[in-house]
DNA sequence: CATTTCTTGACAGTATACTGATAATCAGCA
DNA sequence: TGCTGATTATCAGTATACTGTCAAGAAATG
């Protein structure tokens, strides 16, 4: 019988666990309280001011039902504002606040450090190859998840 | 600013999402209702009859508080039994049932298929390299997670 | 304009994962 | 033996992720 540790899915889960733990540790040490998911959302909104939640979900490959809670918490922390869209009354426009911008900039070194720590076992060349293989595997499987990545074409309101 | 898609942590999350979705799809198509986490636990118990929950957690790198719920659900499905240990009244001995054994065997082809599907974008050589890099990165980061892998020394009651 | 269809956002329910706390028990030691 | 510290399992609380469902609104169509 095949050992669990020969299963790519199992290894993926373990690596993700480590990645999240490292992220938390580095970010907390820097004095911030943001999860990896919240950081990715905040960062994506900062680069695409005014997008709605579905577009955000596509940008970072989150499920649309997950976005609601993530945005809730970011709004509660004062890092985002969520306003009804004027063009489409179903949609909510997401904008990063001044405080959110400061948090994003302040947290960046910790996030960069986390990426290094979680791959500290690999050489520089191995890191490159690892990322390449991850991207390739993800590209081939993108549509198999309920939350596929969806790049915006060419109309996103570019921020700052 | 660095794009989210250049972050290994973000890529890890995405690959894990795909891996879980593929697992669910393949297993459901085969007529079973087991999550990846439940499968790994069931499989580990099948190979180590009578282990307690902490040992199980170490074997598959789960948090000890997560194990409780996973075992609960497997017991509820009739695939496991959880009995007080005679040697240590704090501990619960986990044993796979006949039905659990049948489920484990019946589900194996679907699990194998899932591993192939989630890596369908990679060549055979790339799959090998990907797994090697995953294992290497995980080994270096193992202790950074609250749920590190802990192999049992040499006394586990080998099953079947 | 009226109707059908799609889309956006939200909710209930389930299943990981984690933090931190606690009860019960065991093991080592004065 | 009695005390102290470690260990096993559990629980409360929080945060992803997903299934499935629903209401409100937009878009397409007759």
Average pLDDT over residues B105-110: 97
User: B7-144 sits in which CATH class?
Assistant: mainly alpha
Percent of chain B with pLDDT over 90: 90
In tens, the pLDDT along B112-131 reads 999 999 999 999 999 999 99
Picking from A64, A44, A10, A11, the residue whose alpha carbon sits closest to that of residue B132 is A11
Task: Provide, in whole angstroms, the distance separating residue B10's CA from nucleotide C6's C1'.
Answer: 31
Q: Choosing among A118, A122, A152, which should be mutated to test the B contact, i.e. which has the most B CBs within 10 A? A: A118
Q: Per-residue b/e over A60-76, b at no fewer than 16 CB within 10 Å? A: bbbeeeebeebbebbee
> Closest nucleotide to A61's CA, by C1' atom?
D17
pLDDT of residue B51: 96
pLDDT of residue A153: 58
Mind spelling out the 3-state secondary structure of chain A?
CCCHHHCHHHHHHHHHHHHHHHHHHHHHHCCCCCCHHHHHHHHHHHHCCCCCHHHHHHHHCCCHHHHHHHHHHHHHCCCEEEEECCCCCCCEEEEECHHHHHHHHHHHHHHHHHHHHHCCCCCHHHHHHHHHHHHHHHHHHHHHCCCCCCCCCCCCCCCC
Give contacts of B119 with chain A, Cβ < 8 Å: 8, 137
Average pLDDT over residues B33-58: 97
Look up the pTM and report it: 0.92
pLDDT of residue A152: 76
Flag if A121 and B141 touch (Cβ within 8 Å).
yes
pLDDT of residue B2: 76
pLDDT of residue A154: 44
Least confident of A71-75, A129-133, B132-136, B149-153: B149-153
Least confident of A14-23, A147-156, B95-104, B110-119: A147-156
Task: Provide, in whole angstroms, the distance separating residue B31's CA from nucleotide C25's C1'.
Answer: 42
In tens, the pLDDT along B78-93 reads 999 999 999 999 999 9
Percent of chain A with pLDDT over 70: 94
Q: What are phi and psi of B82, to 5 degrees?
A: -125, 110
Number of cross-chain residue pairs from A and B with Cβ atoms under 8 Å apart? 193
Tell me the Cα Rg of chain A.
17
Task: Give the number of other Cβ atoms within 10 Å of residue B111's Cβ.
Answer: 22
The C-alpha of B86 sits at a distance from chain A's nearest C-alpha, in angstroms, of: 29
Mean model confidence pLDDT for chain B: 93
Task: Provide, in whole angstroms, the distance separating residue B90's CA from nucleotide D7's C1'.
Answer: 9
Calpha distance A78→B44 (Å, rounded): 45
Average pLDDT over residues B46-60: 96
Nucleotides of C under 7 A from a protein CB: 7-13, 15-21, 23-27
The C-alpha of A136 sits at a distance from chain B's nearest C-alpha, in angstroms, of: 6
pLDDT of residue A157: 37
Longest dimension (CA), chain A: 59
Picking from B116, B48, B121, the residue whose alpha carbon sits closest to that of residue B80 is B48
Is the pLDDT confidence value at A141 over 80? yes
In tens, the pLDDT along A95-120 reads 999 999 999 999 999 999 999 999 99
Give contacts of B48 with chain A, Cβ < 8 Å: none
Domain positions in chain B: 7-144
A48 touches strand C (CB under 7 A): no
In tens, the pLDDT along B22-33 reads 999 999 999 999
Flag if B121 and A112 touch (Cβ within 8 Å).
no
> Closest nucleotide to A145's CA, by C1' atom?
D18
pLDDT of residue B3: 81
pLDDT of residue A5: 81
Flag if A16 and B18 touch (Cβ within 8 Å).
no
Is the pLDDT confidence value at A160 over 70? no
> With respect to CATH, is domain A4-144 assigned 1.10.10.10?
yes
């Amino acid at each position: 019988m095949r050992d669990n540790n020969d299963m790519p899915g199992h290894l993926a889960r373990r690596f993700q666990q480590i990645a999240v733990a490292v992220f938390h540790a580095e970010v907390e040490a820097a004095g911030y309280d943001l999860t990896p998911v919240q950081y990715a959302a905040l960062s994506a909104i900062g680069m695409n001011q005014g997008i709605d939640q579905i577009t955000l979900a596509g940008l970072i490959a989150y499920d649309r039902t997950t976005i609601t809670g993530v945005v809730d918490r970011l709004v509660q922390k004062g890092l985002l504002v969520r306003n009804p869209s004027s063009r489409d009354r179903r949609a909510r426009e997401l904008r990063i606040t001044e405080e959110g911008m400061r948090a994003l900039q302040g947290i960046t070194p910790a996030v960069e450090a986390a990426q290094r720590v979680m791959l500290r076992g690999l050489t520089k060349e191995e890191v490159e190859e690892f990322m390449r293989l991850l991207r390739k595997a993800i590209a081939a499987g993108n549509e198999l998840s309920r939350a596929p990545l969806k790049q915006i074409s060419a109309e996103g309101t570019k921020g700052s």
